[in-house]
Amino acid sequence: MAKAEWTEAGDLLLAAEVVRTIREKCSRLPRLTWLDDSLLVSPLHEPGQRRHPLLYGDLKLFSVAELLALLTSLRGNGLLTLLVPHARKSITFREGRVVYAASSVEDDRLGEVLWRRGVLSLEQLSQVYDLVEPGKKLGAVLLEQKLISARQLYEGIKAQVTEIVYSTFFFDQGEFVFIEGVVRQPSSVRLDVSTRELIAEGLQRRREYNRLEQFQPRDDEVLVRRQVDLPGELERRQVDILDLVDGQRTTSELIEISGLGEKTALEVLADLHRQGLVEPAGSASPSSGKMLGLAFERYRGLLQVIYMALQAASPEHLDRLESFLGNPPPRYSELFRSVGFSPEGRLDVDTLYRNARSTGQQEEARKRALDALQAFYDYARFQAMDVLDDDTCDTMMDRLQTLEEDEGEDA
């Protein structure tokens, strides 16, 4: 039988293995307490007898940053579990420091982290996952196969922990539970940064995302200045860019003339847009991915096939593609900034190319952008093949092969 199932009479029947575990923990019948949508099974028969405090709440009332700051100030030990839609993430504290983090999200797995850091190839990742079995962790397999060193494994776990922690700063809904006490975690590590530094970096990432998520103009989009009173004293660089907005210059021209660099210029324009001082007026000329060449359209078509296959057969796994865009390998991090899919599965290759242009000359930028698209395509195809059933996967692969044969790169 399953670990728990309901009988026809409406009773909840627990399997023997679950009952044995409960008896090991509880000397008598446990106390059941509803915690909103969760159920707490406690070995303590009466409330108020818990030796270690339990903290429970809603993420709408307490942000992750506030929770981490509180737990750091207590300098205690314990496990913070975050329950959000479609995910469960936990952070282990030892004397107020983050020493480990775990996640139910597949893209937070150690193998994916090592791949994003360039330590493993997709082919190696696929091979080692076939060797992982119950009771044997991926790290042990990687060491046995001599694919990484013990030092690389340790650094990979540290990177995995920090990435999981940073991802929690984007949680706006869900619940949290913190149970104080020493957590025996053999994979615990000593991070290179303090928990306070983790909080500062997590908040900075969230602020940058909030500034840019509502402002993603195209390269050829003309910005106009709104005839409104200034909300107050502006920064010098805000004034300088605002003076350049004349209703004729495109976004790319404003970025180039400003001399601030693309990232900073876009952040300033986003702030001006948020304050209602500038707004897009439209495109100076028709634009499409084809202006970038058939190679870019080819990758957009290939990725759209994968996107639509996942959306039709396994929409819950579309987050695998989104997670790459949100946290790509370091060498592509700037290129994929603000790049996403449309509801129809069309990748915004215009923005990707614009990002590449900000870091090099035209031909060099084109090569870097195509290299990034190839890496994303390899990753997306690998993930789709991992989750789709055989028939759906075969149909998708046939379509991809047809596109690869029919469409070649332009000169």
- Model confidence over 326-382: pLDDT tens digits? 888 888 988 888 888 888 888 988 888 878 876 656 678 888 899 999 999 999 999
Q: Parse the chain into domains and list their residue ranges.
A: 1-50, 51-207, 221-283, 289-406
The lowest-confidence range among 31-35, 184-188, 319-323 is 31-35
- Cβ pair 244, 275 in contact under 8 A: no
Q: Using pLDDT thresholds of 50, 70 and 90, give the confidence band for residue 211.
A: low
pLDDT of residue 42 exceeding 80, the answer is no
Phi, psi of 168 (to 5 degrees): -70, -20
Query: Are β-strands 97-103 and 38-42 bridged in parallel, bridged antiparallel, or unpaired?
Result: unpaired
Phi/psi at 6 (nearest 5 deg)? -95, 135
- pTM score above 0.85: no
**How confident is the model over 121-153, as pLDDT tens digits?**
888 888 888 888 877 888 888 998 899 999 999
Q: Mean pLDDT, the chain, as a whole number?
A: 81
Distances from the Cα of 194 to the Cα of 63, 66, 90, 95, 99, angstroms: 19, 16, 18, 12, 10
pLDDT tens figures, 301-317: 999 999 999 988 888 88
DSSP class of 290: G
Answer with the residue of higher pLDDT: 216 or 340: 340
> Which run of H or E residues covers position 368?
helix 362-387
Residue 86, number of CB atoms within 10 A of its CB: 8
**213/149 Cα distance (integer angstroms):** 39
Highest mean pLDDT among 139-143, 218-222, 259-263: 139-143
CATH architecture of structural domain 221-283: Orthogonal Bundle (1.10)
97 pLDDT exceeds 80?
yes
Task: Please give the pLDDT value at position 168.
Answer: 93
pLDDT-derived band at 286 (thresholds 50, 70, 90) equals very low
Residue 186 has pLDDT above 80, yes or no: no
Indicate the DSSP class of residue 250.
B
